[in-house]
Amino acid sequence: MTLEKIYLHKFLLIMLITVLPYFGTIDFVKSITNQNDIYFDNEQSFTKMSFKNRMVIATAQGALHLTIPIIGGRDQKLPLKEVKIAYNSPWHHQHYKAITSSYQRAPYFEYYQEDLKLIYNSNHVFLVDFLLEAQYWIKKQLKGNWSISATKPNGITEDVKVITRNYSFSLPKNYHQLPNPIVYSQVFEDRVGFLPNLSILDLLFNCGGKQAKHLLSL
């Protein structure tokens, strides 16, 4: 994920330019809550070992990685906008079942259960369409003020000067190494300890939208 300051002629356009994640980590969502404009770059090539089609939730055994299967496998280099979801296995039912099994006793899960069921039953052909629906849902639950764009903003061309800041905790291999994670009560904390920087779903299910928004703003 990159935070880019884009200079258009004499004007400075501050916009978060990133790729769409699968429900996003808590740190990712925290990074977008203070942004006015977000452009999800769907021209980037699909890369394996990223959160484009993966998220991490809590279970009684510890952290569980859930991955959306894609047609052509994870080694393909297609632009994200062209990547299609594979439905040769019922991954959407399996993911929803895993979420329900893990969070059915979380304080706020029942408030989100039916919405999530609809998202998982949407049967989108393209991965980006599923990810966009998930992002709009997150924004709604957090009452976010940011603007989401899936198309390249006018004026951003090859000759535009860009200053980029890289975020180092945006990959499945190091998401949990965040120096100062948001801490809150989790459903399995008494068994496996606190699991930092999980999917934003974990924060919503355990804290609810109002408290989650507050914690993300600190």
Query: Each residue of 150-169: pLDDT tens digit?
Result: 666 555 554 444 433 334 45
Confidence at residue 152, expressed as pLDDT on a 0 to 100 scale: 61
Number of domains comprising the chain: 1
Query: Each residue of 134-144: pLDDT tens digit?
Result: 999 999 999 98
Average pLDDT across the chain, whole number: 85
Q: Tell which wins on pLDDT, 203 or 38.
A: 203
Query: Each residue of 41-79: pLDDT tens digit?
Result: 888 888 888 899 999 999 999 999 999 999 988 777 899
Identify the domain containing residue 92 by its residue range.
2-217
Q: Return all residues near 131 (Cβ < 8 A) that are at least 6 apart.
A: 20, 21, 22, 40, 52
Task: Look at residue 3 and tell me whether its pLDDT is greater than 50.
Answer: no
Quick count: other Cβ atoms within 10 Å of Cβ 46? 22
pTM here is 0.87
Contact 30, 52 (CB under 8 A): no
